[in-house]
Structure 1
Amino acid sequence: MRYLVLSDIHGNWPALEAVLEEAPPFDRVLFLGDAVGYYPDGDRVLAWLEEVGAECVLGNHDAWLLALDRLPQEGAVMEILAWQRERLSPRALSFLASWPWQKEVEGALLVHGSPCDPLEYVDDLAVAREAFRCAENRLAFHGHTHLAGAFLELRGPRPWVRYQAFPEGGELLLPPSVRALLNPGSVGQPRDGVPGAAFALWEGDEVRFYRVAYPVERVAARLEEEGFPPWLYQRLLLGQ
């Protein structure tokens, strides 16, 4: 079984379209959270995830959108989420609300942040070591940081953890003695300095990381059309 692994689409439909055009054939989709937020087309993203029967877990933006009536409505992020919620159908909201914080697929754990806390950023070795202690799975897929890469743990009496970044793609083969926390990077808003849409393919002990270019001017046009702040476009140009 070959899985297309996606995270942090954030309503960026042109980026997702590029992924689907460039990705090699796959059997199923794993989505690690944050379908909404930042960019205008969260409705189209959710419709596609439901259509393909994606295995999905909640991200922080997804959870914030669902809980907007209980959260302060200040700042650009919350204003965007409120705008998106007004435009989501009851079906889309129900689909989003059905996502759990964590789930397992073929023995791999799916979570948005850390296995210890789905809202925690796994962004350094200390956090990664604790994350490995919170999960028994050999493989865990996460997003949230918008950084493509893998924390690898070599098992033993004193486990050794290292990090390998994949900002421009690459291949990772996992020996039986290694556990991994794998982040495919962000489809909709990468933050590792490399523009483009990031994703991964997982099959057995092999994970391939990809970064594909797409016409970001289409996103700029959508932002202008809906009156979104222009800094959202600038971030895409910088990969930040």
Structure 2
Amino acid sequence: MKIAIISDIHGNLDALRAFSETYDELWVLGDQVNFGPQPREVVEIIRDRADIAIQGNHDHAVGFDDDSRWTPKFRAIAEATRRHTSAKLSEEQKLYLRELPLAVQAVREGTRFQLVHATPSDPHYGYLLEDADGWAAELESVDADVLLVGHTHMPFIRRIGNKTVVNPGSIGQPRGGKPRPSYAVWQDGAFELRSFDYPIESTVAKLEALGHPPEVEAELVRILREG
């Protein structure tokens, strides 16, 4: 069995369309919307193709019109793009985002998985990078062999005791100086991180046509081009 695991698409339809991996199942770890220019199309594709999808903080914020926990660093960008996202989505799509589960447990070929967008203790906003000390404490509450997370946009595979934490990185807003979208594949009991190219300048042009405040537009474009 082959499972493709993606996260943090953020309304970037060009990147999602360039994702060409074959799979038996597609799992999506949250944040389908916000930041990017084409949230409606992204939501429709994920609704159609994903075998499992969970709720990220931006899915929640758009679905419930609740951005109360966004950090000051990203608030201006998140608020501006949420207005665009909310205007583009239908009420049915917003209901879909509201009803996405916070966490899912699944078993495939004897391997137990737990899926959550950020961390088990704070599913929407917990923020732990690969080398963070907090992973051991987070895993104490995880009744699974593998914990799958997103949110940071930084891919990694880390073994801690008898458990594995995997972050596939981001499809729509890669970070860490690497603008290529990344994802994870689980096959024959093993994980692999993969990445691909997509037409970044096409997404940039679509963003620039939206009329966001100049400082918001500049930061969104910088992230896309530089990672």
Fold shared per TM-score above 0.5:
yes
Shift of residue 230 of structure 1? 2.8
2:11 alignment partner in structure 1: 11
1:187 alignment partner in structure 2: 171
SS at match of 1:188: coil
In structure 2, the gaps of 5 or more residues are: none
| TM-score, normalisation: structure 1 | 0.83
Closer, same or farther in 2 for the Cα pair 1:5/1:102, shift >3 Å?
same
CA displacement, residues 206-228 of structure 1 (integer Å, 9 cap, x when unaligned):
11111111110101110112123
Shift of residue 45 of structure 1? 0.9
2:138 alignment partner in structure 1: 131
How many residue pairs are counted as aligned between the two chains? 213
CA contact (8 A) 1:15 1:196 kept: no
Q: CA RMSD in A?
A: 1.8
> d(CA) in 2 for partners of 1:92 and 1:85?
10
1:92-103 alignment, distance < 5 Å? 92-103=93-104
In structure 1, the gaps of 5 or more residues are: 155-177
Shift of residue 181 of structure 1? 0.8
CA displacement, residues 1-59 of structure 1 (integer Å, 9 cap, x when unaligned):
21110000000111111113xx2x20111000000111111111110011114311111
- The one of 53, 56, 81 aligned to 1:56: 53
- The one of 215, 223, 226 aligned to 1:235: 223
> d(CA) in 2 for partners of 1:149 and 1:94?
32
CA contact (8 A) 2:114 2:144 kept: yes
What amino acid does structure 1 have at the position aligned with 2:97? L
Please state if 1:112 is matched with 2:103: no
SS at match of 2:178: coil
| TM-score, normalisation: structure 2 | 0.88
- Identity fraction in percent: 28
What amino acid does structure 1 have at the position aligned with 2:140? R
> d(CA) in 1 for partners of 2:146 and 2:49?
23
